[in-house]
Amino acid sequence: MDLYLPIANLSVNALVIIGLGGVVGLLSGMFGVGGGFLTTPLLIFYGIPPTVAAASAASQVTGASVSGVFTHISRGTVDFRMGGVLIAGGVVGAGLGVLIFRLLQYWGQIDTVIGILYVLMLGGIGLLMAKESIQALIALKTGKRVQARKRRHHPLVAALPMRWRFYRSGLYISPLAPLLLGMATGILTMLLGVGGGFILVPAMLYLLGMTTQSVVGTSLFQILFVTMATTMMHAMTTKAVDLVLAMLLLIGSVTGAQVGTRLSMTIRPEYLRVLLALIVLLVAARMALGLGWRPDEIFTIELS
Amino acid sequence: MQRRALWRLAPALLLVAANAPQLVPDVSQRDIEIQYSFTGADLLLFGAIVYPDGVRPEKPADIVVVLKGPEQSITMREKQKVAGIWVNADRASFRSAPSFYAMASSRPIDRIVDERTAAIYELGVDKLQLSPSSLNESAELSRFQQGLVDLRERSGLFVERPGTVEISDGVLYRARLPLSARVIVGDYTAETFLVQDGRVVAAAVRDITVRKSGFEQFMATAAEQWSFLYGLTAIALAVGMGWAAGAIARRI
């Protein structure tokens, strides 16, 4: 079933895109991540122009995180104050991302930077996750318990001035720390079309030292609003949001997300984390191959 | 006096021109609309060769048809390995790169015309005049041009089909050229050349318009002109669908 994408200027097989959205949605439901880190590279691989891919993937992440946010709000596991600070940072970051995007485009280095960011980010976090989840698996097999990490925020965070109380996160820290963190993920969202949950969740846990219960809900809350802001900024500046493409992705991903959520209840979380770590490392390796071994295309064309 | 003499000569010159063969070309579709199911189009370029007094030459003539899209000003970048990483290292700019180019001929082009004639009439993807606007060496430029041709050929935007023009009875010709789904909107031209003994003896042009219509046109305009509303719609769609899916899943 071929369908013409009016902004991307090409026709795609609608079922393939819906299926792609479905797979990403399945993963996002199973692991509680947005899945943007998979959508953008897969769309580019399919032949969609990179800018259109990143711009349209952001709205897919919005759709995938909506129902999660509602669930977490009803459970009371969203720290609105912390979320608000993160969103403020995220929106500023997305704005900065637009400037960085333009600058890199002008220098002609946008695809290299996107590639390097993907490799570093996914590779680093994938390895971290793999190490932790394998440790957890070994502990599960041998029956030994992993020593729980002492929850404490990073000394750098403690050094920042002006402290606020974040009750649900169990923190008394400077709002500058989550603001900067939000900015960093906002930039990533704009550049890569990812939600940034990958960076956000570990950073909230290990840098800020938030309570585990409120981490996922709050990060989803931030992702929801920042991807909305990013979609808007793309619509206003790059004008690369393809509604037809976004719609197809959404149909797949919102359905997949629901299936994934149910599936995740039947599989042990330890196995899930190993699986996710593998997928993340696989994407990172694919990107690294393009950077170090051989790029997909030697030449690129851009209108001037 | 002299000028008047020249004017009297003019009809005589025309008479000479009338002695040359003429082309009466047409295309199967002058107006191509891009709609939701657009996966490209197959264009039939056909027509008749009219010889003066209906006398066909002994040696059969050749036909070359060229379908050209709007020209674009482009910047190309080339990746090179720098410190172990492939980065964009070199660039070149061209002022007039056709966004689409398709050519069909009755025989391989190098057997119909010589290099120079092919270059003058831009017959063949390697003969396109791209008007470089950056200061690259000519070896570099030809490398970039090859890169452009390779990229566009793989996405179906540059097509060469030598030997596919059928000429029946020496007077009727027909050729089929594919229009990729990736074409941009704008004014296209279908040129037909009649070649005899390595010389172009007649040429004719037909215009073709490619445009988005209906929903596709609306979307493209909306994204360009009402970008705030467009963005808002995208967000509303995402939130609405995500919420609806959650609500439905809870019921099941």
A194 or A248, greater pLDDT: A248
In a domain, A209, yes or no: yes
In a domain, A303, yes or no: no
- B238 to chain A: nearest residue by CA? A63
Residues 21-80 in B contacting A (C-alpha not used; CB under 8 Å) = 34-40, 72-79
Whether B76 and B215 have beta carbons less than 8 Å apart is answered as: no
Q: pLDDT tens digits for A153-193?
A: 677 777 777 777 777 777 777 788 888 888 988 888 888 77
Question: What are B79's strand-pairing partners?
Answer: B88
Phi and psi at residue B98, in whole multiples of 5°?
-65, 135
**Closest chain B C-alpha to A255 CA, distance in angstroms:** 6
- Structure tokens of B150? 């390779």
**Closest chain A C-alpha to B97 CA, distance in angstroms:** 10
Task: Look up residue A207 and give its DSSP letter.
Answer: I
- Those residues of chain B that have pLDDT short of 50 are 1-3, 5-6, 8-16
**DSSP states of B54-77 as a string?**
GPPPSSPPEEEEEEE--EEEEEEE
Q: Residues with Cβ < 8 Å from B240, sequence gap 6 or more?
A: none
Q: Could you give the number of structural domains in chain A?
A: 1
For residue B48, what pLDDT is reported?
92
What is the average pLDDT across A81-107? 89
Distance CA A229, CA A123 (A): 27
CB spacing of B219 vs A244 below 8 angstroms: yes
Give me the percent of chain A exceeding a pLDDT of 70: 96
- B214 to chain A: nearest residue by CA? A6
| Domain with A272 in it | 2-291
For residue A247, what pLDDT is reported?
92
Chain A contact for B230, CB < 8 A?
A: yes
CB spacing of A108 vs B77 below 8 angstroms: yes
Alpha helix ranges (H) inside chain B: 2-19, 109-112, 115-120, 138-154, 214-225, 227-251
Cβ neighbours of B86 in A, within 8 Å: 112, 290-292, 294-295
What is the average pLDDT across A88-93? 92
**Closest chain B C-alpha to A284 CA, distance in angstroms:** 15
Cβ neighbours of B234 in A, within 8 Å: 59, 231, 235, 241, 243, 246
Chain B contact for A10, CB < 8 A?
A: yes
**DSSP states of A102-116 as a string?**
HHHHHHT-HHHHHHH
Q: Could you tell me the residue ranges of all domains in chain B?
A: 20-70+97-212, 213-244
Query: Can you tell me which residue has the tokens 């467009």?
Result: B230
**Closest chain A C-alpha to B51 CA, distance in angstroms:** 43
Distance CA A263, CA A249 (A): 20
- The span from the first CA to the last CA of chain A, in angstroms, equals 34
Average pLDDT of every residue of chain A? 83
Chain A contact for B162, CB < 8 A?
A: no
Question: What are B22's strand-pairing partners?
Answer: B50
Please state whether the predicted TM-score (pTM) of the whole model is above 0.90: no
| H or E segment and range at residue A59 | helix A50-75
For residue B68, what pLDDT is reported?
93
Q: pLDDT tens digits for B99-144?
A: 999 999 999 988 999 989 999 999 988 888 888 888 778 888 889 9
pLDDT confidence bin for A218, thresholds 50/70/90: confident
In a domain, A6, yes or no: yes
CB spacing of A300 vs B76 below 8 angstroms: yes
Chain A contact for B225, CB < 8 A?
A: no
Cβ neighbours of A67 in B, within 8 Å: 242-243, 245-247, 249
Report the interhelical angle of A36-46 vs A50-75 (nearest 10°).
160
State which CATH number among 3.10.20.30, 2.60.40.10, 3.30.365.10, 2.70.50.60 fits the domain covering B20-70+97-212: 2.60.40.10
Distance CA A304, CA B241 (A): 37
> What are the angstrom distances between the C-alpha of A172 and each of A164, A169, A207, B137, B173?
6, 9, 13, 63, 83
Does the pLDDT of residue A15 top 60, yes or no?
yes
CB spacing of A6 vs B212 below 8 angstroms: yes
Distance CA B64, CA B78 (A): 33
In a domain, A225, yes or no: yes
What is the average pLDDT across A33-43? 81
Whether A87 and A222 have beta carbons less than 8 Å apart is answered as: yes
Phi and psi at residue A179, in whole multiples of 5°?
-65, -45
- B184 to chain A: nearest residue by CA? A9
CB spacing of A250 vs B212 below 8 angstroms: no
In a domain, A169, yes or no: yes
Q: pLDDT tens digits for A225-257?
A: 988 988 998 898 888 899 999 999 999 988 888
In a domain, A126, yes or no: yes
In a domain, A43, yes or no: yes
- The span from the first CA to the last CA of chain B, in angstroms, equals 98
Burial readout B7-44 (b: 16 or more C-beta within 10 A, e: otherwise): eeeeeeeeeeeeeebbbebebeeeebbbebebebbebe
Whether B201 and B20 have beta carbons less than 8 Å apart is answered as: yes
CB spacing of B241 vs A254 below 8 angstroms: yes
Whether B97 and B130 have beta carbons less than 8 Å apart is answered as: yes
Cβ neighbours of B155 in A, within 8 Å: 47
Burial readout B89-103 (b: 16 or more C-beta within 10 A, e: otherwise): eebbbbeebbbbbbb
Please provide the size of chain A in residues.
304
CB spacing of A70 vs B184 below 8 angstroms: no
In a domain, A183, yes or no: yes
For residue A144, what pLDDT is reported?
67
β B22-27/B41-50 pair status: antiparallel
CB spacing of A4 vs B181 below 8 angstroms: yes
- Structure tokens of B107? 């025989």
Closest to A6 measured CA to CA, from B214, B236, B241, B41:
B214
A292 Cα distance to chain centroid: 24
Distance CA B53, CA B40 (A): 41
Task: Look up residue A278 and give its DSSP letter.
Answer: H
β B31-34/B71-82 pair status: unpaired
Chain B contact for A18, CB < 8 A?
A: no
Closest to A226 measured CA to CA, from A260, A199, A188:
A188
